[in-house]
Amino acid sequence: MFSSVRYFGFAILFAVLNVATTSWSQTKKPNSLAELARYSGADREQMLLAGAKAEGKVVWFTSFTGSSYKELAHSFETKYPTVKVEIYRAANKELQTKLMAEIQANHHLADSIESTLPLLKALRESGMLIPYASPYAGRYSAAARETKNNGLFYWIIHRESYNGVGYNTDIIPPASVPKSFADLLKPQFKGKMGFANGDTGARMIGAMVKAKGEEYVKKLNAQNYSLQSISARAVADLVASGEVELSPTISLEHAVEVKSKGGPIGWVPMELVPTNAGGAALIEQAPHPYAALLMVDFILSPRGQKIFSDPSLANSAKELVSRRWYPESGLTSAQYEDRLEQWLKMLRDVKRK
């Protein structure tokens, strides 16, 4: 909740904006962050931009990898040149640790966040997200909108990333490309596979357990795969270089990116595809509330989505819908973390042999 001093400053800002914008809609203007988050007047963007201009910046937390998050920030600043974007990019656990530290120190920096479901669930359960309305919500399916009530959402999923098997096309001929989890047990792949040694690897193990059972993972361990303590994106580069011939922890978008740069990499989905779903959310203690909401709206807008939408992925993504699997589905954040630890232990059992 706002402190009295912060609330007073917030009220003054609204008063100044009201005086300066007499031509705006006569819809009642919001008087708190919660009211601002659900405001849906026709002058919403104009009002948010005026407030964001006075704030001067937005502090945006994201776990998105690659270059898309930088491109999105640049596109936002191009459209709204009076509002600067300060980016803090990190993995989910690091983002959560930093946000919790801000709460404990009562020193709030983050305004909005773009991340995957495990972190968003944890933040909601901790009371760190505030539900919001968006003029772009109708562009997304009901399944993509984490609804509170009355047309408000804790987050809206705007991107998905599909994990499958990436392989070196110079080394593995088309006839030998694995088409299923069972194919990964073939003798020819013994000692040739590499897994990202982290959440991405653990989630793939979870998919294998769900599809084939724990006995399958024990058999897979006998394949003597390597554990790569680097990012999943970096593992894709190892596949392209031939250091790792294939990896079940490669995302479709990373494979497409590496291939577009001339890397000899192919990608195939297995019968179950671990899917990372990313959503846009608003931090409850956002110090720049106007800019925070302006950023969330921009991410969800057609212009923002162009950054995340690679035409080369469209057809493949449509084919993957029936195979996608959300590992955190139906679980609380604590339950998911427990499950993830179990899968991670199973992944690392290969080193105990």
Residues 227-262 have pLDDT tens digits of 999 988 899 999 999 999 999 999 998 999 999 999
Residues 210 and 112 in one domain: no
Note the pLDDT of residue 28.
Answer: 60
23 has pLDDT over 80: no
Residues 301 and 327 in one domain: no
- Mean pLDDT of the region 11-30: 44
> Mean pLDDT of all residues in the chain?
87
Q: Which one-letter DSSP state was computed for residue 29?
A: P
Note the pLDDT of residue 179.
Answer: 95
Classify residue 149: in a domain, yes or no: no
Residues 289 and 271 in one domain: no
CB 11 within 8 A of CB 2: no
Residues 36 and 99 in one domain: yes
Helix axes 199-212, 214-221, angle to 10 degrees: 120
User: How many independent structural domains does the chain possess?
Assistant: 2
CATH assignment of the domain containing 12: 3.40.190.10
193 has pLDDT over 60: yes
pLDDT (tens digit, 9 = 90+) per residue, 289-328? 999 999 999 999 999 988 876 544 444 455 677 788 999 9
Residues 188 and 121 in one domain: no
Closest CA to 90 of 63, 112, 67: 63
- Mean pLDDT of the region 186-215: 96
Note the pLDDT of residue 103.
Answer: 84
Residues 166 and 85 in one domain: no
Element holding 240 (H helix, E strand): helix 232-241
What is the domain range of residue 341? 162-275+315-352
Classify residue 139: in a domain, yes or no: no
Token duo for residue 327? 């590992």
* Contacting residues for 269 by C-beta, under 8 A, at least 6 apart: 162, 164, 165, 252, 320, 323
